[in-house]
Structure 1
Amino acid sequence: MACRRRSGNASVTASRPDLASLAGQRVALWGWGREGRAAYAALRGAHAPQAGADGAGDRFPATLTLFCSPAEAGDARALGDARLRVETEATAERLSAFDVVVKSPGISPYRPEAQAAAERGTRFIGGTTLWFAARPDATTVCVTGTKGKSTTSALLAHLLRAGGHRAALTGNIGQPLLELLDGDAEVWVVELSSYQTRDVARSGVRPAVAVVTNIFPEHLDWHGSQARYVEDKLSLLTQARPRIAVLSAGDATLSALALPDSEVRWFGRADGWHLRGDVVWRGDEPVFDTRELPLPGRHNRGNLCGVLAAIEALGLDAKALAPHAATFRALPHRLQLLGTRDGISYVNDSISTTPHASLAALEVYAGRRVAILVGGHDRGLDWQAFADAMRLAPPAAVVTLGQNGPRIHALLEGAAAAAGFALRQARDLEEAVAQARSLLDGEGVVLLSPGAPSFGAYRDYAERGRHFAALAGFDPDAITAIPGIGIA
């Protein structure tokens, strides 16, 4: 990274932007969710003044500025940190006053105010960048993909631990990396969203292994376009240059990549780990039957092949660890069977935020009477392929809801008339569950697989899933914990 001077104040940047490299720079935080709080703790921990000092000689600026929402401001001020300045308007002018802004992943760097500040020289980085730069010798397996990355990450950590290896499970799955800045693990399994993949490249550190499950249109509102989403997602491969890239051979986007700086290992291909029917094979050797595994859906069992390929990439015996998949605990909100009441099963797939994910969920319950609940925050994704699929393999019913519910409903009207499935609209999730239950009339599956985010109606997909569980008559507190997060 280039050195530069602004407003007469030297801004020296290290080749790796770790915490120490921020000394003497004007630094701000943007965002006060869990990631923002983890970044604050890391910055204060790394640059706390010596005992008895007034802060004037501290390596870190005497005042750290936080940009956050008005709702978050009170929580930040309650810390009582006299050196923390809290502001609720992150304008281009204010952002431009800083050399470095450490932003939370949910804040897009493509927002006009961020782009304007970047053009004036402000660098935007995330906590992921800081962690990788601070831990260049860590053995990391970075996992991303439009869908399946959480289950893939958790399953990988589970198999490693079952084999006696101390593994961390962290990142987008529910724990900021900076919360484990000083943690000790043999292997770090790091789930990354498309909001974070570029941060690895910015750290200047090459991951040991990168696993990519698939690429479909997603998060277009954050990235601004499908092309930029794909570019950002693939930056984990094209810019971070992992030593070994483990990729799905069945994904057209991944298959077309050229990665001259990485060794590529494919899964889902006959010469590697792949499925034949329900059996996992390694090349020409059958290894085990997957029918009894707690992995709903063929896509999840296919990603198990990616997990086994990643274990091999680490130099470990994947065949020996593979049987431990039988003791894996499925993650909440991902095709999660809550239970059955009055003849109706309730499945919580609230993590589903694309039409493709909703189709994958329906495939799991092919042959059952299903009422699927779809719709939520409208990010402009195309639902035509979903509508076409409803003509060929219709469920018993589709209930639409949310901001994009009317658009989906209008698109499905022709398919419903042609294929004969029931089509209803609902004002909210409570009404959608009631309608689905009535349509099934005591037999079938109510499947919450919205194919859209929860923004607006809920804080996140987990809150939506909890509400669905409560509406179905189950204890929401019993379905929320993600097993295995942290180091074990």
Structure 2
Amino acid sequence: MRFAELAGKRVAVWGYGREGRATLAALRRRLPGQRVSLICSEAEAEQARAFHQDALDYVTGEPYAGLLWSFDIVVKSPGVSVYLPAIVEAKAAGVCFTSSTALWFGENPLASVAGVTGTKGKSTTSALIAHLLRSLGKRVALAGNIGMPLLELLDTQALVDCWVVELSSFQTAEVARLDVGLINNVYEEHLDWHGTRERYVADKLALARHSACLVVNGLQQELLARTLAHPRRRAFGTVAGWHVQDGWIAHGHELLLPLAELPLRGEHNGLNLCAALSAVDALGFDAHAALPAARSFVPLPHRLQTLGERGGLVWVNDSISTTPQASIEALRSFDGRAVSILVGGFDRGVDWSDFHQHVQRHPPQAVICLGSNGLRIFQLLDSAPRAFALEQRASLADATALARELTPVGGVVLLSPGAPSFDQFRDYADRGRAFTQLAGFDPQSIAAIEGLGIC
């Protein structure tokens, strides 16, 4: 859909987060005389009134189908589930729902785009692709779910060789044609939005049907099986392509770069680099020539971010971890160290059995459960004999203080919650900053993501 199709229609923007604000700004530029309604909370409406004055109508009640019927087109923010009964009923009544992602693609049909999704690692992989391409002298835009809505770059005059766009499972069905689509992995996540695991996986895999070339994780059999019919599919993680072997980044049987020389911690991040290299190849560029630039990559904040040492302990902020699998990978990256891990947060109902099995086989120093699903995790871990300390605390502050007591000198205090932050914090970055301060570091020292936008 293009902005011109909204002209003269009854249009609503649903949500006043960063995506919603970018949509409103783009509407103001493209359709300056258009009257628009904003569906949001009362608090958000107060914020919006300060910037938009009389340009908007406000809907601050809970949207229901009958209310949505009063619009021709609703531009929905990613966090609003397409499976809400009100949306399902409104669609059946003829209301059109679109998004800022769909509008950007509608305005840029000829752009060269690499779209990246996955349950975990998609931000790091997206940033790696952009970094590697820039090392080859390409002008690259890095945007999307990683922290810069595409519509913020809608009217750029810069010439861009490639757009690298991170896509959440909320956005994968909203893209148009991609030169390369990359699916890093698929685990159980966002069940509150998608409803079921099957629907979550299907929504992730929607990326495949929009991709001229598809790059997938060859270590995930389900992913391989469900993308088998794609005519131009290539895999990473196996010996036939880019993979991790004996502590090296390898291609085929050639060992090319030791993982120890990367600024990224853990074998899973080595696999993220393999995914990025595969995407560079799929785009038609020389991944072998780009590989040395991986040494200069700046890791993203809140992703296994070593804050430093305080009180004889190493403090690590992995607040971006919102699945139990991410917490497992975080623990694996500290094998052989005494680690106290803080887990728990907003409860999306996901299964923690794999995490339970991992800490049984590879006991950390301590597991401290917190947040709204903390009791559920605690009860699961407490259901069998264990070789690690297990505690529960309500707040991050109490959990951090306890971790300081339980962790021996030289050990690691690791925030890797395996759950979203919405029960106690605005988002994962807010949670990460709070942990940073509790650990004794300056939260302002946590850098923004390097390389966002066009450069």
Q: Normalising by structure 1, report the TM-score.
A: 0.91
Give distance in 2, aligned partners of 1:395 and 1:130: 47
The structure-2 alpha-carbon separation of the partners of 1:80 and 1:102, relative to structure 1 and needing over 3 Å to count, comes to: closer
Instruction: Render the CA deviation track for 1:231-251: whole Å, top value 9, x for unaligned.
Output: 11110113x2x1110111001
Question: RMSD across aligned C-alpha pairs, in angstroms?
Answer: 1.2
CA contact (8 A) 1:371 1:398 kept: yes
Give distance in 2, aligned partners of 1:340 and 1:262: 50
Give distance in 2, aligned partners of 1:104 and 1:116: 18
The one-letter amino acid paired with 1:403 is: S
165, 169, 172: which one pairs with 2:142? 169
281, 287, 300: which one pairs with 2:250? 281
Higher Rg of the two aligned structures: 1
Tell me what 1:57 maps to.
none
382, 402, 411: which one pairs with 1:413? 382
The structure-2 alpha-carbon separation of the partners of 1:224 and 1:174, relative to structure 1 and needing over 3 Å to count, comes to: same
Tell me what 2:409 maps to.
442
CA contact (8 A) 1:209 1:244 kept: yes
CA contact (8 A) 1:334 1:348 kept: yes
Give distance in 2, aligned partners of 1:413 and 1:385: 15
Tell me what 1:295 maps to.
264
Give the CA deviation at 1:260: 4.2
Tell me what 1:305 maps to.
274
Structure 2: 5+ residue stretches without partners: none
Give the CA deviation at 1:281: 1.8
Instruction: Render the CA deviation track for 1:264-288: whole Å, top value 9, x for unaligned.
Output: 1111121111111122222233322
423, 437, 447: which one pairs with 1:456? 423
CA contact (8 A) 2:101 2:151 kept: yes
Give distance in 1, aligned partners of 2:283 and 2:262: 24
The one-letter amino acid paired with 2:118 is: G
Give the CA deviation at 1:370: 0.6
Give distance in 1, aligned partners of 2:244 and 2:408: 37
425, 450, 474: which one pairs with 2:441? 474
Matched, 1:120 2:90: no
How many correspondences in the alignment? 452
Correspondence 1:226-265 to 2 at 5 A? 226-238=197-209, 240=210, 242-258=211-227, 260=229, 262-265=231-234
Tell me what 1:325 maps to.
294
Correspondence 1:163-242 to 2 at 5 A? 163-183=136-156, 184=158, 185-200=160-175, 205-238=176-209, 240=210, 242=211
CA contact (8 A) 2:116 2:182 kept: yes
12, 19, 34: which one pairs with 1:35? 19
CA contact (8 A) 1:237 1:259 kept: no
Instruction: Render the CA deviation track for 1:183-232: whole Å, top value 9, x for unaligned.
Output: 331100000000111111xxxx3100011110000000011111111111
Give distance in 1, aligned partners of 2:6 and 2:247: 52
Tell me what 1:102 maps to.
75
Tell me what 1:487 maps to.
454
Q: Normalising by structure 2, report the TM-score.
A: 0.97
Give the CA deviation at 1:65: 0.7
The one-letter amino acid paired with 1:26 is: R
Instruction: Render the CA deviation track for 1:393-416: whole Å, top value 9, x for unaligned.
Output: 11011101000001111111134x
| Local SS of the residue matching 1:79 | helix
| Local SS of the residue matching 2:382 | helix
Tell me what 1:141 maps to.
114
Give the CA deviation at 1:261: 5.2
Give distance in 2, aligned partners of 1:286 and 1:446: 33
Correspondence 1:12-31 to 2 at 5 A? 17-31=1-15
The one-letter amino acid paired with 2:68 is: L
Correspondence 1:43-122 to 2 at 5 A? 43-49=27-33, 60=34, 63-89=35-61, 90-122=63-95
Tell me what 1:374 maps to.
343
The one-letter amino acid paired with 1:84 is: L
Instruction: Render the CA deviation track for 1:122-159: whole Å, top value 9, x for unaligned.
Output: 12111000001110000000000000000000111111
Give distance in 2, aligned partners of 1:261 and 1:133: 24
Matched, 1:266 2:266: no
Tell me what 1:314 maps to.
283
The structure-2 alpha-carbon separation of the partners of 1:227 and 1:259, relative to structure 1 and needing over 3 Å to count, comes to: same
Give distance in 1, aligned partners of 2:8 and 2:407: 64
CA contact (8 A) 1:370 1:395 kept: yes
CA contact (8 A) 2:249 2:274 kept: yes
CA contact (8 A) 2:37 2:58 kept: yes
Instruction: Render the CA deviation track for 1:97-117: whole Å, top value 9, x for unaligned.
Output: 111100111111111211221
| Local SS of the residue matching 1:254 | helix
Instruction: Render the CA deviation track for 1:326-358: whole Å, top value 9, x for unaligned.
Output: 000000100110001121000100001111111
Give the CA deviation at 1:84: 1.1
Give distance in 2, aligned partners of 1:444 and 1:285: 36
| Local SS of the residue matching 2:302 | coil
307, 315, 318: which one pairs with 1:349? 318
Runs of 4+ in 1 over 6 A off after TM superposition: none
Give the CA deviation at 1:383: 1.0
| Local SS of the residue matching 2:347 | coil
